[in-house]
């Protein structure tokens, strides 16, 4: 596939169909959609009265929480490696 | 603060107020909420007709996309380090 080509992957998230556009593989997009769907199902089960907008926002918050933690871990690891590199 | 203590942070995401509960610092929760709010604003600007549930789902997809990529980079880095470790 051409590097610039935009792929469209149709996925189901919390009972709604979405067309995801991007250069990533279909496998990657399905994994991403499954992660969001799973998080929405999990939050819906614990909070049956939340509407889908609230569920989706809280799912985004939940995933962003894990993302920010991982960014910090990744940066800590890189900093530790740089620290190693300058040791005599 | 006690390690087990649950903190409540009130944040604003796309014009709605949310009470986020968790053990993380208020600074961390505000950073996470700002990331979600920013992503929703960005997608809303490009797609003014999307309702807030769709905007929130697509924001979650967008953040999950970056999260999955970072998990892969982090694992690749760890694998490379382990590769280093077993070199003679």
Average of pLDDT values for B40-46? 97
B22 touches chain A (CB under 8 A): yes
Q: CB distance B74–A71 less than 8 Å?
A: no
Residue B63 has pLDDT above 90, yes or no: yes
Q: CB distance B61–A14 less than 8 Å?
A: no
Q: Please provide the average confidence, as pLDDT, over all residues in chain B.
A: 91
Q: Which two tokens stand for residue A47?
A: 């909070």
A71 touches chain B (CB under 8 A): yes
User: Which stretches of chain A score pLDDT less than 70?
Assistant: 1-3, 85-88
As for the ipTM of the complex, it is 0.89
Residue showing tokens 């300058």:
A86
Q: Which helix (H) or strand (E) holds A33?
A: helix A26-46
pTM confidence score: 0.89
B12 touches chain A (CB under 8 A): no
Q: CB distance A35–B68 less than 8 Å?
A: yes
Q: Return the pLDDT at B43.
A: 97
Q: Could you report the per-residue pLDDT of A50-71, keeping only the tens digit for each? A: 999 999 999 999 999 999 999 9
A11 in helix, strand or coil?
strand
CA distance linking residue B85 with residue B79, whole number of Å: 10
Q: A16-26 burial, b if ≥16 CB within 10 A, otherwise e?
A: eebebeeebee
Beta strands in chain B (DSSP E): 7-13, 16-22
Q: Return the pLDDT at B2.
A: 56
Q: Return the pLDDT at B30.
A: 97
Average of pLDDT values for B46-61? 96
Percentage of chain A with pLDDT > 70? 92
- The phi, psi pair for A4, rounded to 5°, reads -90, -5
User: Are A72 and A78 contacting, i.e. CB atoms less than 8 angstroms apart?
Assistant: no
A77 touches chain B (CB under 8 A): yes
């Amino acid at each position: 596939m051409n590097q610039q080509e935009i792929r469209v992957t149709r996925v189901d998230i919390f009972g709604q169909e979405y067309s995801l556009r991007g250069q990533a593989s279909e496998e990657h997009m399905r994994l991403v959609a499954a992660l969001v769907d799973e998080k929405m199902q999990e939050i819906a089960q614990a909070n049956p009265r939340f509407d889908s907008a609230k569920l989706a926002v809280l799912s985004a918050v939940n995933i962003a929480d894990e993302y920010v933690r991982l960014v910090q871990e990744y940066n800590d690891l890189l900093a530790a490696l740089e620290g190693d590199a300058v040791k005599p």
